[in-house]
Chains A and B, each alone.
Chain A
Amino acid sequence: MSVLVVVECDNGEVKKSSLEVASYGSQVAQLLGTTATAVAVGEASEASLASLGEQGISKVLYDAEPRLKDFVNSAYTKLIAAAAEKEGAQLLVLANSNIGAAVGSRLSVRLKASLATNVVELPKINGGSFTVKRGAFSGKAFADVVLTGDRKIIAVKKNSIEALHNAGQTAQVESFSAGLSDADFTDAPKQVIMQDQAGGVLLPEADRVVSGGRGMKGPENWNLIEDLAKALGAATACSKPVSDVDWRPHHEHVGQTGITVSPNLYIACGISGAIQHLAGVNSSKVIVVINKDPEAPFFKAADYGIVGDVFEVLPKLTQAVKELS
C-alpha cells in the first residue's frame, strides 16, 4: 500500500499547508511500512520540490505542462489520478484547501475511494481498520470516521500537523506526463486575479491573524490592525458585518459563511464574538480578545483578553512587539 501526497505550489515554492500534507503522508507511510511519493501541482521549482525530502518524501512527480500553473479542476484530477495509478497508491493525502476539496471529491469517485476531509490527526490503523479524526459542526465537535474502502483519500486541515524538517534530506524529482490534452483544459480559468497582499501574508495560510470588527468604527482606522499585523508577521482579517458594509474585502471575512482559519494566534479587535464568527476561528490554537465590553461573548472563547479601548490598546501592543528582541 503506497502513499501519494499532492503538494500545491505557488511562485516556485511549496505552500506551507502542503509541507504539512507531505509530513502527514510520510508519517502514515512509515506506519504502513511503505514510502511516500508526491505529485506536484501549480508553479514549482525543481529545488523546492527536491527539498520535500525534508518532509520525508522520497520521490516527486512533476508534469511541466505550462497550463497546469493555474488551477484547472479537470486537468488536476486527471494528473493526480494518473500519478496514483502509476504508483499503485492506495492512500492519497492532500490539503483541505479549495483546490484539495475540488480535486479530492472528484478523485474519490474516479478511484472508488473513501474520502475524509478536514482531518486533524494522523490515522489510527488497527489491523484492517483505518480511522481518522476530523472536525465537524463548524469546529464545535470532532468525529472519528472509519474509511471502509480499500482506497482512501485524506484532506488534512491546515495547521493541524507540524511539518517535519529533516535537514539535508532531498527527494528525487522525476518528470511525469499524464498525457493531458486540450479536452482536459476546457474548464481552465479565463482569468486569475490575485489579491493585493499588502502585508505579504495570505490569510488562509497564515500562522497569525489580526482581525477587526465593528468596534474599529470605520475603514480609516484599519492602520491600527495593519500595524500590529505587520509587526507580528500576521495576516489581517475581519468579521462579517465589516465585509458586509465594504470596510474590508470579502476575502478577509472569517466566520461561518466566510473563511475558516486555524492559526496559532488569532487576535480579535472590537469583535463581539457572535457564534457565526466563532465557527470560523474556534480551532485557532491561541485566541486573544480585545474589547471594551467585558460582557462580549468572545471572552468566553478566548485564552487571553484585554477589556479596553482598541484605539489605546492596539498601539501599545504594536510597540511591545517591536521591543521584543
Chain B
Amino acid sequence: MTNYDVLVVGGGHNGLICAAYLARAGRKVMVLEANEQPGGAAASREFASGYTVSSCAHWLTQLSPQISKDLALERHGLQLAARDLDSIGLAPNGQHVTVTGSAVEGAALSEEDKLAYAEFHRKTIKFSRLLARAFAERPPKLVESNLTDRINLLKLGLGMKLLGKEDMSELLRLALINMYDVMEEHFDNETLKGLLSFDGVLGAHMGPRSPNTVFGYLYRRVGDVHGYNGPAVVKGGMGALGSAMADAARALGVEIRTASKVEKINLDQGRATGVTLNGGEVIGAKLVVSNADPVTTFEKLVGFRNVETGLVRRVSQIRMRSGVAKLHLALNGLPSFSGLTETQLGQRLVIAPTMDYIERAFNSSKYGESSTSPALDISIPSVHDSSLAPAGKHVLSAIVQYAPYDLGQGWDNHKEAFTQQLIETIGTYAPDIGERVVASELLTPVDLEREFHIKGGHWHHGEISLDQVMMMRPFPGATQYGTPVEGLYLCGAGTHPGGGVMGLAGRNAAREIIKRGGAA
C-alpha cells in the first residue's frame, strides 16, 4: 500500500533539505532517521555531564544561503553564536599566523607573503565562484546530454573562459596538482603554508603532496562564496542546525520519524516500492530517496544481489575510507595557548605548523597507523556559547588527522593512548591543557561510521577528489541523483556536489525529482 509520495531514508541535513523542498512542491514526504535526533552529521552531543559539543561537523562554513532563506532556518531557530572567525595557524615558537578572510597577519610574516596571500585569495575565490555555480545545478552528463546539460556545460566552459586568459590557464594548471607545490610557489612562511594546505586535505585521506588537493582547497573556499568570511559557530552546537532544518521541514508538511532505522529498501521487479524498518514494519511509497552514502545504500539497503554486477563494481570502488577522528574535551577552564589572547581562543585554531608535519602525519595513516604528530582543527565553541558547558567551564572540539579507519592494531586497544597523545599534542601549544581536562571522548572513524551510519566514517560520503566529483559522483554512469534502481534516488553527500553541510546535494536532488515529475 502506498501511503507516501516520497520516503527519505536518513534524516541528515541533505535528507531534511531534500524532503523540505519536495514537500514545498506538494509531495507527501516522510523522513526516516535511525538516530534519536534528526540532523545526521549536524549533531550535538552531551559527551560528559553538562558538556555539549558538535559531535561531527563543528564549524558552519558552507551552508548555501539560498537554502537558509528558502527554508527560513532562522525563523526555525538557527542562531549563529559567532561568524566570520579567523583561522589561526599555530607555530610552536608562538609566531602564529592569522587568516582573516582575504588578509593574513603574523609577526614572522613578510610583506611579500601578505601580498602574495591577497592575490592567492583573489584568484582562488574567483575559481571557487565558478565551482559554486556548478554546485548549484545538477551535474551535466557527458554522454546522452540533453539541452539543459549542454547549457550547464556551456556555462561552466564560458565561466572558465570569462576568468580571462591568464586565470583560466592558471585554474587548469592548479586544479589537478597538489597543495604542496602550489604553496611552495606562492609563500615563504612555513606556518602559513601549513595552515592553507591543511584546508586542502581537511576531511580527506590525502596529504598536501597528494594530487588534486588544490581542488579540495577550492572546494572549501566555496564557503566564502556562500558568504562565510571564515567559519561560524552554531548556537547550541550543530545539532541546533539539524533541529532547525527538521522544524523547517515539518513546517512544510514533512513527517519525520526518528529512532526508525531502515533495514532495507524494498524492490518489486527491480523498482523501489518502499522500505522495511528494523522492527519489520513495511512502509510503501512512490519514490524512495536515500540520504545514506552510496555504499550503504546499495550494499546494505538495496542489497548487492539485487542490482547488476557493473553497479556493484562501481559502488565497491568508491574511495571512502576516512582518516579523520573527532576529539572532545571537557575543560574546567580556558586553557592558555602561548601567544594567543583569550578572545583569540574562540577562533579556529589549527595545529599544522608545516606542510611536512601534515605529510608525515598522513604517512602513518597510509600504512594503517595513527599519526604520531597529528594535525588538528580546534574549536572552543563555549567561548561564544556559554550554554555548552557549566559556568566558567569550556568544551574543546578537534578534528584529528590522521586516524585511519582500518587501524592495524584495532581502535579498541589504541583509543586511550591516542587520546592521551592528542592532549599532549595540544599541550605543545597550550601547556596547561592536561590539568584542564575533566573528561574526554574520542570518536574514531569506526565510531563515526556507527554513530552516523556512514560507511568508512567518511564525512563526505566518499572522497572529494577530481575523479569523484561532478558527473563522476557518486560514480560514473549514476549521476543526476537517479540510480539504476527505478524509483530510487540519492540525495546525500555522496552525490554532487558533496558534503560539508552545504545542503546543495539535498536541494539539487529534490529539484531533479520534481523536474522529472517523480511522485507527482
Asked if A and B are interacting partners, one says no
Binding site for A on B (CB under 8 A): none
